[in-house]
Structure 1
């Protein structure tokens, strides 16, 4: 069985006891302390997991106008996955300890690279440990390099110019994954300007999770996201956030819900707010 959205703790444990080629990737990270993710990984991780750093492997170089976490090139990401031990037939599983806040970026990048067999561990490391599953400490064993190669992308992107044109055309609905106060332009601490892209709608990524930190059911996600977006046609949607990270959480939720074809705006608010020609809206809508 292959997994391409979510995988449960028990399903992952079953894979470990099978001959399947599985690579687990720990995406732990903290925006306020970029070194904290690796420290957390070394303190405890799923046995055999490789650590992928948001800013080193899952982002590309910044130039001052492309946001806080610009995408790596597809080639750079493929090389990073091959170094971690992934091949084209590998079942990838990603997780963190923050409800998938960071791991969803790896899920999306794998799909962008054309790799369909990638799933997020539902509930992350907390769910794994609550279930009494073992953890490892330290840096973990290194797998031999894999032959992860690029294939036709399974996820799409839009750039600044396309989103700017969309403000006037209204052809697609922009869903902003940031917290409501930042969407309104309040309490902005990460970017120089507060507010949101005009006509965008707010879907805080944490609303994708239930009280136990697991993703809501496909029906619930479809109803909630559809109500905010006004459509269940993923091709009519653009996902963005502060820097293109938690927007991937919403894209995963859409995929779970069967709302497929939405695009990522990688630069998101951190790029948008750095551009002098970008209009800014504030308030709830």
Structure 2
């Protein structure tokens, strides 16, 4: 069976039981924005058996130059090589999880789709759901991986650039959905970037609103209802997802996919790139 959005903890445990070499790759994406090594420490303390660790800033991002945001995308070819080195092949089912409600795992999910690999899912509820199901953890890293043969294929996910969004400010052809917390969207309590505010015309959809009280994604019908109410009749292909640095924006893209509303694209540089551009237009306060 293939999984392309979510997989439950119990389903993952069944898939791990007797999985053939190269058929399943579980990746721990745990991270903290304020402590870049916290995710590795959490992985070392206990992870899903057989899982390998991927670091947001080493594997899922490229170097920063001061103008390309806090977590710029790597070159697709470099990302393909990195995932192949971890054991991914063209037919590997990849499962991503973290300890933050899918905040970082969704970035890996989106990036694999970006390089054309569709058999990737996020563990619904993350490590907390695995623990709640009473499933075992491992403390030792698995043996070194056997490299897989992963190809760069036609993308299943798209992006837009800063220039495209600048032009959109006047045309209004696309609607930007901002995944940051409401106070940061309004330009208040900004601690991650040097300038507060949001892209003019954007609407706010905090990524954590995609989750229920247990930390699992809300049902597809509920997500669909909430997103349709927010976008006022816009088609998914007209939507652009952004956040602070292109990470939690992927959580909204995953939620849209679960809701049966595929086709939205990512602004990878997001607010951290936008606010670093000379003359960028900035709005503050609540969305109008």
Same fold (TM over 0.5): yes
Aligned to 2:5: 5
Residue 165 of structure 1 deviates from its aligned partner by 0.7
Measured after TM superposition, the shift of residue 18 of structure 1 is: 4.1
SS of residue matched to 1:156: coil
**Residues 49-69 of structure 1, C-alpha deviations (whole Å, 9 max, x = no match):** 010100000001111100000
| Alignment match, 1:97 | 99
TM-aligned CA distance change 1:130 to 1:119, over 3 Å: same
Shift of 1:13: 1.1
Report Cα offsets for 1:118-176 as digits up to 9, x if no partner: 00000101110111111111333222111111110000000000011111110010000
Q: How does 1:1-285 map to 2 (within 5 A)?
A: 1-20=1-20, 21-231=23-233, 233-285=235-287
SS in 1 for 2:13: helix
Gaps of 5+ in 1: none
Looking at structure 2, the residues matched to 154 and 120 of structure 1 have their Cα atoms a distance apart, in angstroms, of: 16
Structure 1 runs, 4 residues or longer, greater than 4 Å off: none
Judge conservation of contact 1:233–1:260 (CA < 8 Å) in 2.
no
Stretches of structure 2 lacking an aligned partner (at least 5 in a row): none
CA–CA separation in structure 1 for the residues paired with 2:164 and 2:18: 45
Q: Distance in 2 between matches of 1:129 and 1:284?
A: 38
Q: Secondary structure at the match of 1:270?
A: helix
CA distance in 1, matches of 2:126, 2:72: 25
RMSD, aligned α-carbons: 0.9
Q: 1:198 to 1:109 in 2, by over 3 A?
A: same
Report SS of the residue matched to 2:273.
helix
How many angstroms apart in 2 are the aligned matches of 1:34 and 1:138? 21
Query: Normalising by structure 1, what TM-score?
Result: 0.98
Q: TM-score, normalised by structure 2?
A: 0.97
Q: 1:35 Cα deviation (Å)?
A: 0.6
| Distance across 2 between alignment mates of 1:18 and 1:166 | 50
User: 1:19 deviation in Å?
Assistant: 3.7
SS in 2 for 1:128: helix
Q: Deviations over 1:247-278 (max 9, x none)?
A: 00000000000111101000000000111221
DSSP 3-state at the match of 1:60: coil
Is the CA contact (8 Å cut-off) linking 1:184 and 1:195 kept in structure 2? yes
Between the aligned partners of 1:101 and 1:36, the Cα distance in structure 2 is 15
Q: 2:150 & 2:114 partners in 1: Cα distance?
A: 13
Aligned partner of residue 157 in structure 1, secondary structure: coil
How far is 1:10 from its partner? 1.1
1:225-259 superposed Cα distances (whole Å, 9 cap, x missing partner): 11111236210100000000000000000000011
